[in-house]
């Protein structure tokens, strides 16, 4: 299996280099790893202890961030190395304040793993959620460097639990972890049924992250002026199908306001969105030139504002549910907003649980969206009940970071 895997890694590397000739993201992937040893050696302080965190992309970073923040707070003398697999994670979080070094993860070859660990010499290593790189894992194990997986979630259909040759080999990868911190009981039960007993149900660290966002949120004066005394719908990470439904609703509504933060903020996409809207709308980039309260729709044509906007909302709509899947629902739920999204949500555990608690509402079409929005906007009791369900759901699921820190650092946590 190792020979087959290593051959596959080299083939993947060749393919991505070929794709880099035509694809900008693939080019970032390749160029970001060019001369990685030289880049890493120039950034590493050989006299300092490091803890290494690896995240596939931005979503996994949000799960690893609470643990990194906690380590930096409790152990300020320890430095953090953060690696990403995907350009979408690296480019957005390469300046993360609590990471002392941020680079791309080198390709998972045996030589890269040995060279990487020789340069970093980490005291502990955390892989977040789904990251299982065999050559790095084997080398960490060989050097007796403690390795942990956090916010993991396992399902019976995964290769790890197949009763065949490949399943046996992949279970061997999991056995090399010193401890696996999983999101739910079923994941831990699956691991134990496969003979892997070093697991703890700690929950999802994203709850700690969004709770921290809510606790540290600041006032945004232009949103206060925009909202006034109206009910406000915050639509986050929307795609075209979401925007068509939302535009149709707001075009027929006189007494509500809406902020739309599209997933794609390109000028072309913003122009298309403006064409859908029949009510007065304004872009965030232009609000300094006019009185923002005169408009009914505010379009956020930049990134980085969404999580702070939710505190002003009465209802949230989360995009992506008419495509491959919804975006982050917890950022809205932590502020006590009822959440609405499209039908593709069932592979997201938190979304399913929010629906069961009546803090979230899936919709399939314009008729269902209008019905849910009108119900929440016109029935104060229903709005309050759904808002409380969302807020309590997040509150009741925080604490994962503390469990991890106590277990990894010998029951010390401040």
Q: What is the mean pLDDT of each run of 10 residues along the chain (414 residues)?
A: 79 86 90 94 95 94 96 95 94 94 96 97 95 94 97 90 84 94 95 94 95 88 93 97 97 94 93 96 89 94 88 97 94 97 94 97 97 96 97 96 94 49
218-395 topology per CATH? Rossmann fold (3.40.50)
The confidence score (pLDDT) of residue 413 equals 43
**Contact in structure between 298 and 262 (CB atoms under 8 Å):** no
Cα dihedral sign, 365-366-372-375: negative
pLDDT score at 14: 84
The CATH number assigned to the domain with range 2-203+399-408 reads 3.40.50.11720
Residues 6+ apart with CB under 8 A from 325: 344, 345, 347, 348
Distance, CA of 146 to chain centre: 25
pTM of the model: 0.87
pLDDT for res 414: 43
pLDDT digits (tens, 9 = 90+) for 109-139: 999 999 999 999 999 999 999 889 999 999 9
Q: What do you get for the CA distance between the two ends of the chain, in Å?
A: 44
Question: 2-203+399-408 with 218-395: one CATH topology?
Answer: yes
Q: Which two tokens stand for residue 125?
A: 């290593």
Q: What SS3 string covers the chain? A: CHHHHHHHHHHHHHHHHHHCCCCHHHHHHHHHHCCHHHHHHHHCCCCCCEEEEEECCHHHHHHHHHHHHHHHHHCCCCEEEEEECCHHHHHHHCCCCCCCEEEECCCCCHHHHHHHHHHHCCCEEEEECCCCCHHHHHHHHHCCCCEEEEEECCCCCCHHHCCCHHHHHHHHHHHCCCEEEECCHHHHHHHHHCCCCCEEECCCCHHHHHHHHHHCCCCCHHHHHHHCCCEEEEEEEECHHHHHHHHHHHHCCCCEEEEEEECCCCHHHHHHHHHHCCCCEEEHHHHHHCCHHHCCEEECCCCCCHHHHHHHCCEEEECCCCCCCCCCCHHHHCCCCCEEECCCCCCCHHHHHHHHCCCEEECCCHHHHHHHHHHHHHCHHHHHHHHHHHHHHHHCCCCHHHHHHHHHCCCCCC
Every domain of the chain and the residues it spans = 2-203+399-408, 218-395
């Amino acid at each position: 299996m190792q020979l087959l895997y290593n051959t596959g890694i080299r083939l993947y590397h060749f393919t991505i280099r070929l794709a880099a000739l035509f694809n900008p993201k693939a080019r970032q992937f390749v160029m970001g790893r060019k001369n990685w040893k030289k880049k890493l050696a120039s950034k590493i302080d050989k006299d300092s202890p490091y803890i290494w965190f690896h995240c596939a992309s931005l979503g996994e970073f949000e799960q690893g961030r609470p643990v990194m923040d906690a380590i930096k707070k409790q152990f300020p003398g320890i430095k953090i190395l953060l690696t990403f697999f995907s350009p979408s994670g690296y480019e957005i979080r390469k300046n993360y304040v609590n990471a002392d070094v941020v680079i791309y993860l080198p390709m998972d070859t045996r030589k890269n793993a040995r060279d990487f660990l020789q340069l970093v010499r980490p005291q502990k290593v955390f892989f977040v959620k789904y990251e299982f790189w065999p050559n790095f894992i084997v080398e960490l194990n060989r050097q007796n460097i403690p390795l942990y997986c956090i916010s993991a979630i396992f399902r019976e259909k995964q290769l790890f639990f197949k009763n065949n040759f490949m399943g046996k080999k992949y279970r061997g990868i999991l056995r090399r972890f010193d401890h696996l911190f999983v999101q739910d009981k079923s994941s831990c039960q699956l691991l134990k049924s496969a003979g892997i007993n070093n697991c703890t149900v700690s929950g999802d660290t994203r709850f700690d992250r969004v709770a921290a966002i809510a606790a540290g949120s600041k006032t945004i004066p232009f949103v206060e002026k925009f909202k006034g005394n109206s009910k406000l719908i915050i639509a986050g990470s929307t795609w075209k199908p979401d925007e068509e439904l939302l535009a149709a609703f707001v075009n027929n509504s006189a007494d509500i306001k809406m902020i739309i933060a599209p997933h794609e903020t390109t000028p072309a996409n913003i122009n298309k969105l403006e064409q859908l809207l029949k009510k007065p709308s304004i872009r965030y980039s232009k609000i300094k030139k006019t009185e923002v309260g005169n408009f009914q729709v505010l379009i956020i044509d930049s990134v980085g504002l969404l999580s702070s906007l939710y505190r002003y909302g009465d209802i949230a709509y989360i995009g992506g549910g008419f495509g491959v899947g919804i975006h982050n629902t917890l950022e809205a739920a932590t502020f006590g907003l009822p959440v609405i999204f499209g039908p593709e949500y069932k592979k997201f555990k938190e979304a399913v649980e929010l629906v069961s608690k009546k803090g979230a509402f899936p919709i399939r079409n314009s008729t269902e969206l209008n019905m849910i929005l009108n119900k929440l906007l016109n029935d104060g009791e229903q709005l309050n009940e759904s808002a409380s369900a969302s807020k309590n759901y997040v509150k009741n699921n925080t604490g994962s970071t503390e469990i991890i820190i106590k277990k990894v650092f010998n029951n010390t946590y401040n």
